[in-house]
Amino acid sequence: MNRHNTHVAIPGTGLKITRLGLGTGPLGGMYTSVSDQESDELIESAFDNGINFFDTAPFYGLGTAEVRLGRALKKSKKAFVLETKVGRALIPATDTGTTIFEDADPTVETVFDFSAKAIKRSIEESLNRLQVERIHLVLLHDAENHVSQAIHEAYPVLDEYRRLGKISGVGIGMTHCAASIQIMQECDLNLVLIAGRYTLLDQEAQNELFPLAIQKKVSVLAAGVYNSGILANPISGARYDYAPATPEILTKAVKIQAFLRERNVSLTAAAIQFPLQHPAVTGVIAGARNKAELQENIKDFNSDIPLTVWEDLHSARLIS
C-alpha cells in the first residue's frame, strides 16, 4: 500500500502535501558530498514517486541545497509545495571555518538574524536561489536562542506576507520543544516542524507541544526521525543530534533494533513510521542524498507494521 504519496491538508493555507516530504539537508553535502547529477536524479525520482513536498533552508550547504533544488524544480513541469526557512542568514564569509556541509558555498557564512530586514532579504535571496516566483511555506529556523526577536520582529513580517498572499503559511522549524511552545503560544502559526523530538529515542514533543498543536489546529511535521543517523545504523561512532552518540543512547538504540528484529520489523521502517502514530503529526520529512536512499525511505514508509509492535514497544518501556 502506498501511503507516502497520500495528500494531507495544512489548515489555513489551502495547501495539500504528501504524507512523506523530501528533506534537502543532504543536498548541501551534510557529512558527505553529493554530486549535481545525484541531486537532479533525486528530485526527479521524488516526482516520479508522487512526492510533491520539498523542505529546504539557506543553512543547508549555505545556499547549495536551495540552488540544487531550484534547478531540479525548474526542469519539472509537475506541481509542488515548497518550504524554506529564515533566521539563519547568509553573509559574505570572513572566516572559512569548519561546517558539517561538504558542499557548502565557501563565499558565505551563516549568522542568526531574525530582524525584519534580514527576514525580507532572506526570502528574496531564497527566491533567487530556488528560481521560483513563490515559496509556499516559510519557517522560523532554530530560533531557540532568539525567541523574543523571532516573535516580535521576524513573525510580523511573515504574517504580513501571508496576509498579502506572498506566502501561504507560516511556521517554525526547531529541535527544541520549550522554545517552539513559546512561539506557538504567541504567534498564529500554520505548522510546526519539530526535528528529533518525537522519535523512537526521544518522545519529548508529546508532553506539551503536541497537545498545544492540536488545541491551536497547527499541523506538525516530524523531521530528524533517525536522530542524525543512529536510528538508521546504531553502531559505534553513530551520530545522535549531530554529535557522537553516548554509550547510553547507543545501547538503547541497539536494544530497540533487536526488539524490532525479533518481530521482523526493520529499525529504519519503525523510525520513519513512528511519528505518525500520534494524531498531532500530519506528515514526516526525511532527507535523502540520492534516489536509492529515497527508494529505501519510501519502502520503509509503506511497509506494514502491525499495531501490536507499537504496543509491545510501550509495554517494554522502550518508548513512552
Distance, in Å, from the CA atom of 195 to the CA atom of 207, rounded to the nearest integer, reads 15
60 catalytic, yes or no?
yes
CA angle 188, 25, 251 (to 5 degrees): 100
Instruction: Check: CB of residue 171 under 8 Å from CB of residue 189.
Output: yes
Query: In the chain, what's the furthest Cα-to-Cα distance?
Result: 55
What the block records as the C-alpha cell of 90 is 547568509
**Active-site hit among 60, 161, 198, 240:** 60
How many whole angstroms separate alpha carbon 22 and alpha carbon 46? 8
Reported for 232-238, long-range contacts at CB under 8 A and 24+ positions apart, including other chains, are 232/267, 232/268, 232/271, 234/267
First-to-last C-alpha distance (Å) of the chain: 28
Catalytic site residues?
Answer: 60
